């Protein structure tokens, strides 16, 4: 029997799609009429308050003595701790910080030396996946999209857990720690399978080292020789710290709260967040930044010529260049205005790595684009609150200098953010909130039923 191509979009499907488009258009004026906060944001772009959290704070404004709010340099706090101060402590003591931040997010306080050592040992012991899982799950029908592959693997881990549906806090803590430890393996092994079966590369599967940090294990698992420098591991660790959490309102974390509130299992909840993060408007943004810079490098002959660079960026803004969306990717943020603290703290480490990798010219180009684009966007779009680079602006460049393939950019984001997702899931369960169910208003007129033979 001849196999059917179920992926083909036939004329019949096109006709149905046209009917769907025709009958699903909502008059945009109705959103104002009924005061609908589209995207759960008000007319000023401020998020609608839908919950309370103690896990992190994203600060982009401050109130003066007259009670008037003004934009300020962005700040990010994990459990009340300034992330920039945390990273200063990690770099000063030359220790890895992602595991420590994970402890802080999950349990609400910084660990002492013994608690941290015990926690690292626990994560190291959990850093393994079931026997034959790579062969039976990951290697069979490997996906071209690593986020989809990771999501499938997480769902399959449900079948290996005798207490998969137990949503008691101790069991969810156990599941969360296991998934935090396992996700780097699932991501790298899924990429290795994709590379081998779809690209034709050699298949090399390294065992994780329980004594190594998350950042070290990622580099060890990914590279053929398993080797890396201390600077490479340090900067990847900082990237994980900066991506670990960003408030309850970001799309993937809010999704986590919504799905957790339904009472479902941990594996389904994590997969829902992975699905959200995969989107180019969320976790996939750093890939668009990397693609945009490749386009800029190809079309701007003299990177040091500010007039030429400004002209091309202006073409991007006016939808004449790159992907014709009018977006300079990596510039601007839904919350931050004057600066994104993650980009601010990351930039110095990016410059250090660019020197070590002999890519200073590219770093200078990025710095110039950051400065020029901010000026152009503020002028063109009349953005008075300010516009600045976000963390995605530099993260893709860092990953490329570390030799991480673009296919792993978003999965590495997930490897970091699962710490925040887990903290929010536990917080939602402990506070026993109602199922999250916002309202939608129907704006379709009522109609009389017409029998089939009269239509």
Same domain, 164 and 182: yes
Helix axes 98-107, 214-222, angle to 10 degrees: 130
Residue 161 in domain = yes
Same domain, 104 and 174: yes
pLDDT confidence tier of residue 385, bands split at 50, 70 and 90:
low
Q: How many domains would you assign to the chain?
A: 2
**Mean predicted lDDT score pLDDT of the chain:** 93
CATH code of the domain in which 262 resides: 1.10.580.10
* Residue 160, pLDDT above cutoff 90: yes
Q: What is the pLDDT of residues 94-143, one digit of tens each?
A: 999 999 999 999 999 999 999 999 999 999 999 999 999 999 999 998 99
Which domain-ending residue is among 401, 422, 439?
A: 401
Q: What is the pLDDT of residues 20-38, one digit of tens each?
A: 999 999 999 999 999 999 8
Structural domain of residue 219, as residue ranges? 85-280+407-430
Same domain, 300 and 345: yes
Same domain, 358 and 275: no
Residue 6 in domain = no
Residue 30 in domain = no
Same domain, 216 and 345: no
Is 17 exposed, middle or buried (CB count within 10 Å of its CB: 0-12, 13-18, 19+)? exposed
Same domain, 289 and 148: no
Is residue 426 helix, strand or coil?
A: helix
Which domain-ending residue is among 385, 401, 417?
A: 401
Residue 446 in domain = no
Q: Please tell me the predicted confidence (pLDDT) of residue 1.
A: 65
Same domain, 297 and 384: yes
Residue 111 in domain = yes
Mean pLDDT of 171-177: 98
Q: Please tell me the predicted confidence (pLDDT) of residue 92.
A: 96
CATH code of the domain in which 357 resides: 1.10.230.10
Structure tokens at 146: 């690593």
Site of tokens 């969306």: 325
pLDDT confidence tier of residue 166, bands split at 50, 70 and 90:
very high
Same domain, 156 and 247: yes
Same domain, 389 and 375: yes
Q: What is the pLDDT of residues 314-331, one digit of tens each?
A: 999 999 999 999 999 999
Mean pLDDT of 417-443: 95
Q: Please tell me the predicted confidence (pLDDT) of residue 374.
A: 92
Is residue 194 helix, strand or coil?
A: helix
Site of tokens 């004057």: 338
* pTM metric for this prediction: 0.93
Same domain, 344 and 212: no
Residue 438 in domain = no
* Residue 44, pLDDT above cutoff 80: no
Residue 34 in domain = no
Mean pLDDT of 230-257: 96
Residue 13 in domain = no
Same domain, 269 and 191: yes
The CB density around residue 386, as the number of other CB atoms within 10 Å, is 17
Q: Please tell me the predicted confidence (pLDDT) of residue 73.
A: 87
Distance CA 188, CA 265 (A): 25
Mean pLDDT of 288-313: 96
Cα 178 from chain centroid (whole Å): 20
Whether the CB-CB separation of 133 and 166 falls below 8 Å is answered with: no
Q: Please tell me the predicted confidence (pLDDT) of residue 383.
A: 58
The CB density around residue 257, as the number of other CB atoms within 10 Å, is 22
Is residue 129 helix, strand or coil?
A: coil
Distance CA 41, CA 334 (A): 10
* Residue 382, pLDDT above cutoff 90: no
Give the residues across from 34 on adjacent strands.
none
Which domain-ending residue is among 380, 401, 422?
A: 401
Same domain, 423 and 378: no
């Amino acid at each position: 029997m001849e196999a059917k191509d179920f992926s083909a979009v036939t004329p019949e499907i096109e006709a149905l799609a046209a009917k769907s488009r025709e009958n699903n258009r909502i008059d945009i004026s109705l959103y104002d009429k009924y005061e609908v906060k589209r995207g759960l944001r008000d007319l000023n772009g401020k998020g609608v308050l839908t919950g309370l959290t103690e896990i992190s704070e994203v600060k982009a404004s401050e109130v003066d003595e007259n009670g008037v709010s003004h934009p300020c340099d962005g700040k990010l706090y994990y459990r009340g701790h300034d992330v920039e101060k945390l990273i200063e402590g990690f770099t000063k003591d030359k220790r890895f910080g992602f595991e420590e931040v994970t402890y802080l997010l999950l349990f609400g306080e910084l660990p002492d030396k013994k608690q941290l050592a015990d926690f690292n040992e626990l994560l190291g012991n959990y850093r393994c996946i079931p026997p034959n899982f790579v062969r039976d799950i990951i290697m069979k029908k490997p996906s071209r999209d690593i986020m989809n592959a990771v999501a499938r693997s997480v769902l399959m881990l449900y079948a290996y857990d005798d207490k998969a549906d137990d949503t008691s806090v101790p069991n969810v803590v156990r599941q969360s720690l296991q998934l935090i430890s396992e996700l780097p393996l699932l991501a790298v092994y899924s990429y290795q399978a994709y590379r081998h079966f779809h690209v034709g590369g050699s298949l090399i599967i390294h065992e994780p080292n329980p004594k190594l940090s998350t950042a070290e294990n990622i580099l060890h698992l990914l590279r053929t020789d398993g080797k890396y420098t201390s600077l490479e591991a340090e900067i990847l660790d900082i990237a994980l710290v900066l991506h670990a959490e960003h408030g309850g309102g970001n799309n993937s974390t809010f999704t986590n709260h919504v799905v957790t509130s339904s009472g479902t299992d941990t594996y389904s909840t994590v997969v829902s967040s992975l699905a959200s993060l995969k989107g180019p408007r969320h976790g996939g943004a750093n890939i668009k930044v990397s693609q945009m810079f490749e386009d800029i490098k190809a079309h701007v002959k003299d990177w040091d010529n500010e007039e030429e660079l400004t002209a091309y960026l202006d073409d991007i803004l006016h939808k004449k260049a790159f992907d014709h969306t009018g977006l300079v990717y990596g510039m601007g943020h839904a919350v931050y205005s004057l600066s994104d603290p993650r980009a601010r703290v990351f930039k110095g480490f990016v410059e250090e790595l660019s020197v070590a990798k002999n890519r200073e010219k590219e770093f200078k180009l990025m710095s110039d684009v950051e400065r020029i684009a901010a000026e152009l966007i503020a002028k063109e779009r009349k953005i008075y609150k300010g516009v600045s680079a976000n963390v995605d602006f530099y993260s893709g460049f860092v990953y490329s200098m570390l030799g991480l393939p673009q296919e792993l950019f978003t999965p590495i984001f997930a490897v970091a953010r699962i710490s925040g997702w887990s903290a929010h899931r536990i917080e939602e369960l402990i506070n026993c909130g109602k199922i999250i169910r916002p309202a939608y208003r129907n704006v379709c007129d009522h109609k009389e039923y017409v029998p089939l033979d009269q239509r």
